[in-house]
Amino acid sequence: MPHPEPLSQNRKRTTAKRQRFLVATSFMASSPTLEQTLNLAELAASSVVLLHVVEISRSELNPTVFASLEEIQARLDAYQQRARLRLESLAEPFRQSDIACTTSVRIGIPYEEILKEAEAIGPDLVVVGAKAAPVLGRFLLGSTAEQVVRHAPCPVVVIRQVRRRASP
């Protein structure tokens, strides 16, 4: 059986740079996740889609339960507008690194909407963040990250946010 050819540092990776990443952000301490994603994208991505899901509870999916449709729609429109502005500012470092970057805002249950976006755009890689739980963090992912990992149509990278211990 022939041995695989060793990777040469002089060989260019022309195919790897054609990848498309879908990066889901909740805006909660997103800086480490986005910094790591930018580093990865600079190596392998030609385009990135930044996605934020305006989370809506299951009860709000049935608008007659708690509030009028107009109230819910006005609130969601305001959330969407703020999310679009925030995503545009987060897209700048990618664009400055010559990586095509678009943004997308969806409304719904985060993992469901991330999976729908992945099906719609066909990324080569999905990147999600996960909060580290103090005790169970070693064993469990967040529910959104776990559902995306289980059901995504492509590989998923989970960037865990590490809690720093306070200095004594």
pLDDT digits (tens, 9 = 90+) for 5-30: 554 444 444 444 689 999 999 887 66
CB contact at 8 A, 110 and 141 = no
Question: What digits encode the pLDDT tens for the residues 77-125?
Answer: 999 999 999 999 999 999 999 999 999 999 999 999 999 999 999 999 9
Per-residue pLDDT, averaged over 127-134, amounts to 74
Q: Where are the domains of the chain?
A: 18-161
pLDDT for position 2:
54
What lies within 8 Å, CB to CB, of 30 at 6+ separation is: 90, 129
pLDDT for position 143:
85
Main-chain dihedrals φ then ψ at residue 135, nearest 5 degrees:
-100, -50
Q: What percent of the chain has pLDDT over 70?
A: 70
Class assignment of domain 18-161? alpha beta
pLDDT band at 66 (very low <50, low <70, confident <90, very high): low
DSSP run (H or E) holding 126: strand 125-131
Distance from C-alpha of 50 to C-alpha of 32, rounded to nearest angstrom? 15
Q: What is the CA radius of gyration of the chain?
A: 19
**pTM for this predicted structure:** 0.78
